[in-house]
């Protein structure tokens, strides 16, 4: 069995001094790799260097909706330059997106649209942060003529919202939310969605699974999320794992692991 953490903030300082150990423990739980999203331009070098420091790690570059006020048009130019350089470990644009619960929603729109355009220009997939904004994300992608691959990470919503995103070319990120029994709507959506649309993620150190302290999430717990997903789905465990692995490779455009 091979599992990939499709979205993990492994560059965050909370992992300093313990990354090798975390990866060793994760490996013993069938995790063979992970992808680190970028959220702010000042952090891009740290994101890149963290990925380059270990085998099986890849990264993305983007500007998160929470931090758009910290950036200027010059940062989009820098993002374009970095994407055009085509580093073999850089596999997507993101984390970008829309969030109705944090920050100025109207200010987020042009930054999201600009990053959708850059992903289209260079043929990269998108890593999308969407909080209470699934319909807005869908409309933005459709209006922009999006025809590539995208990950709506940390999905928490209804089946109807999810299937619209899937029909627009999105994969749905399955994380710690599904381990919480109160998340009935999301668990129902995950049970009914096409298996070919699902990928696993931790969003570590955030989005902690049940029984893990808030802010203490880690790639180590990806197996815990997978086991919960296997209880929700009807597929046999080995088949479920193999399809999730293939989905993640397809999302990021090549067989990386």
At residue 255, does pLDDT exceed 80?
no
Closest CA relative to residue 122, chosen from 95, 83, 167, 160: 83
Helix %, strand %, coil % of the chain (to 5)? 50, 15, 35
Give the model's confidence band at 88: pLDDT under 50 very low, under 70 low, under 90 confident, else very high: confident
Query: How confident is the model over 61-78, as pLDDT tens digits?
Result: 999 999 999 999 999 999
At residue 254, does pLDDT exceed 80?
no
pTM of the entire predicted model: 0.95
- Cβ neighbors of 234 (< 8 A, separation 6 or more) are none
At residue 126, does pLDDT exceed 80?
yes
Compute the average pLDDT of residues 100-112.
94
């Amino acid at each position: 069995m091979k599992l990939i953490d499709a979205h993990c903030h492994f560059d965050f300082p909370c992992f300093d001094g313990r990354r090798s150990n975390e990866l060793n423990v994760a490996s013993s739980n069938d995790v063979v790799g992970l992808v680190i999203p970028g959220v702010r331009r000042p952090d891009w070098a740290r994101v890149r260097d963290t990925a380059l420091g270990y085998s099986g790690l890849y990264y993305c570059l983007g500007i998160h909706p929470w931090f758009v006020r910290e950036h200027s048009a010059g940062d989009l130019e820098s993002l374009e330059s970095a994407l055009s350089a085509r580093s073999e470990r850089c596999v997507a644009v993101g984390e970008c997106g829309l969030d109705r619960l944090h920050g100025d929603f109207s200010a987020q729109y042009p930054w999201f649209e600009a990053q959708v355009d850059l992903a289209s220009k260079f043929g990269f997939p998108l890593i999308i942060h969407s909080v209470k904004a699934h319909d807005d994300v869908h409309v933005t992608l459709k209006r922009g003529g999006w025809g590539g691959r995208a990950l709506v990470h940390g999905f928490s919503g209804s089946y109807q919202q999810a299937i619209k995103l899937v029909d627009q070319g999105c994969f749905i990120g399955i994380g710690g939310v599904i381990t919480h029994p109160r998340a009935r709507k999301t668990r129902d959506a995950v049970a009914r969605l096409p298996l070919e649309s699902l990928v696993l993620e931790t969003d570590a150190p955030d989005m902690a699974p049940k029984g893990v302290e808030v802010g203490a999430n880690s790639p180590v717990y990806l197996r815990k999320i997978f086991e919960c997903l296997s209880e929700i789905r009807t597929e046999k465990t080995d088949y479920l794992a193999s399809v999730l692995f293939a989905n993640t490779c397809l999302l990021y455009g090549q067989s990386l692991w």
